[in-house]
Amino acid sequence: MVENIVPEEGNRILGKDAQRNNILAARVVAETVKTTLGPKGMDKMLVDRTGNITITNDGVTILDEMEIEHPAAKMIVEIAKTQEKEVGDGTTTAVMLAGKFLENAEKLLDMKIHPTIITRGYRWAEEKSQGLLKELSVKVGSKEDLLKVAETAMTGKGIEYLKAKFAQIIVDAVEIVAENNKVNLTDIQIISQKGQAIENSELIQGIVIDKERINLEMPSRINEAKIALIEESLEIKGPETEAKISVSSPDQLQNFLNQEDAMLRSKVEWIKSTGANVIFVQRGIDDLVQYYLAKEGIYAIRRVPKTDMQNLAKATGAKIVSKLSEIAPSDLGYSGYVEERKDGEEAMTYVMGCKNPKALTILIRGGTEHVIDEVKRAVEDALGDIAATLKDSKIVSGGGSIEIELSRKLKEFASELNGRERLAVEEFASAMEFIPITLAENAGMDPIDILTELRAAHDAGMKNAGLNLFNNKIEDNLVNGIIEPLKVKTQAIASATEVAIMILRIDDVIAAKKPIGNSGKLGSMSGYD
């Protein structure tokens, strides 16, 4: 029968209902994170089912931790993750724009304008925005600009009173590891340590390993460290298949044990012969090997993660060796000293004084895990912003100024159009004003008054006029140093437009089959309940 070819009505949503439902879901997600925007934004407390608490105003963290079932809402979360991956900052902006684009599109749908026309207008507006952003951006002039970018990224993230200190740490770190203005952020390791004040956080031009020496008889500090990085375990491997050893006399047993001892001792002798006095091993180290290493005064750490091994290689110049038998003196790395320190609750190993480190560590200290985690997120955002700035060397003014100028220019562009797409471009332009409006709301200011003042300033030719929320005035934010990477804005607008267009093109939501292994019945529409 024909009616059995497609799912029953209870398992699908059609036409306008599908569009409205999806738009509502996107708006709810945007409303959830909008109060976190800007230096005066609020924090969210996320409590999981086991009682673990996360306190943050980082957009992607909030959305990632929330239990979201609605498929359209999940699409909005994905653009936040894309923004985080591509730039490292601007996730809240991207989500808010996507929600506002869809909210404004709903007005046009109510006017009987077809979704295809709306999406075409949005596409034109997005392309025009990208061109305008490049025109409005300015080239990074100095290190001072980078410091201002980092400070802007960390404003409102819980470490505002220390943003100058952390900005210096972040910019110094990026400058050390950057090659041809390209930064691999995995070269900058972020380690947290509970037990001291945030003010004691520092940049370490070396590597900090969150492990202690494996034997207390080993020296706690090695000067002029010659470092070996070994993947292979320093243990005697057992046979791959089950085996039995027949021993008929005490002498045979003793010989067997002596041979095992000699094999383990030979490993230490080999390490010693290369000149190494510090070893980092990716796998295990036998207790007897530990004893002989300690006897020879060699500092050793076992079960070092692969990422730490790679960072050690970049920092010290050592080569990671797969087999101990292949190691040679030329494979060793160097650092001024290797030391075990216990500043907080746990001991850590510091590899310091590297000659030309291409990997280093930012050590974040704090009184509680919640504080440390939020500081870490702020530092990661700022690192992403600095890396994005160095990549194309372009910045734009912040504080909502770039969005107001884009809105003004897009309205001018819309006035040149004749078709219904003009209305879509105008709604796209109006959506851009959502950012400065929200910044004002979150700061306790009147959004209508602020929007009116901003429009007047931009109409008067002050294209960088934006909100300075430190004195609640409208000023030239490029002069004030409230600046953001161009990449943050281009990526946010591109991602938000893409997801808005995708959602607007959906006119039928059908519950698909469950994955193989389930009952095979159509899944529920619980995301729409």
Say what the pLDDT of residue 140 is: 86
Say what the pLDDT of residue 273 is: 92
Q: How far, in Å, are 76, 286, 478, 512 from residue 56 at the CA level? A: 19, 43, 28, 35
Average pLDDT, the chain: 85
- For residue range 188-245, what is the model confidence (pLDDT) as tens digits? 888 888 877 888 888 888 888 989 999 999 999 999 999 999 999 988 765 444 556 6
Token output for 317: 């110049």
Catalytic residue among 36, 56, 82, 91: 91
Look up the CATH architecture of domain 14-24+95-137+396-528: Orthogonal Bundle (1.10)
Active site residue 331: no
Say what the pLDDT of residue 128 is: 95
pLDDT over 90 (residue 133): yes
Residue ranges, comma separated, of all CATH 3.30.260.10 domains in the chain are 141-198+362-392
Active site residue 241: no
Say what the pLDDT of residue 14 is: 66
Residue ranges, comma separated, of all CATH 1.10.560.10 domains in the chain are 14-24+95-137+396-528
Strand-pairing partners, residue 189, are: 361
Say what the pLDDT of residue 243 is: 53
Query: What sign for the dihedral angle of Cα 283, 317, 321, 295?
Result: negative
Say what the pLDDT of residue 253 is: 58
| Alpha-carbon gap, residue 46 to 38, rounded angstroms | 20
pLDDT over 90 (residue 338): yes
| Alpha-carbon gap, residue 278 to 228, rounded angstroms | 6
Catalytic residue among 308, 373, 381, 385: 381
Mean of the pLDDT values across residues 458-480? 90
Fold of the CATH domain 141-198+362-392? GROEL; domain 2 (3.30.260)
pLDDT band at 519 (very low <50, low <70, confident <90, very high): very low
Active site residue 58: yes
Catalytic residue among 32, 36, 54, 92: 92
Active site residue 92: yes
CA dihedral 84, 86, 89, 90 (to 10 degrees): -90
Mean of the pLDDT values across residues 152-159? 79
- For residue range 27-82, what is the model confidence (pLDDT) as tens digits? 888 888 899 888 888 888 888 888 888 888 888 888 888 888 888 888 888 888 88
Residue ranges, comma separated, of all CATH 3.50.7.10 domains in the chain are 207-356
pTM for the complete prediction?
0.76
Query: Was domain 207-356 assigned CATH 3.30.2320.30?
Result: no
| Alpha-carbon gap, residue 225 to 228, rounded angstroms | 10
Could you give the residue ranges of the DSSP H alpha helices within 137-249? 143-154, 163-177
- For residue 1, the number of C-alpha atoms closer than 13 Å in the C-beta half-sphere is 4
Catalytic residue among 32, 58, 385, 438: 58
Residues 6+ apart with CB under 8 A from 14: 507, 508
Say what the pLDDT of residue 2 is: 43
149 vs 343, residue with greater confidence: 149
Looking up tokens 């045979």, which residue turns up?
A: 252
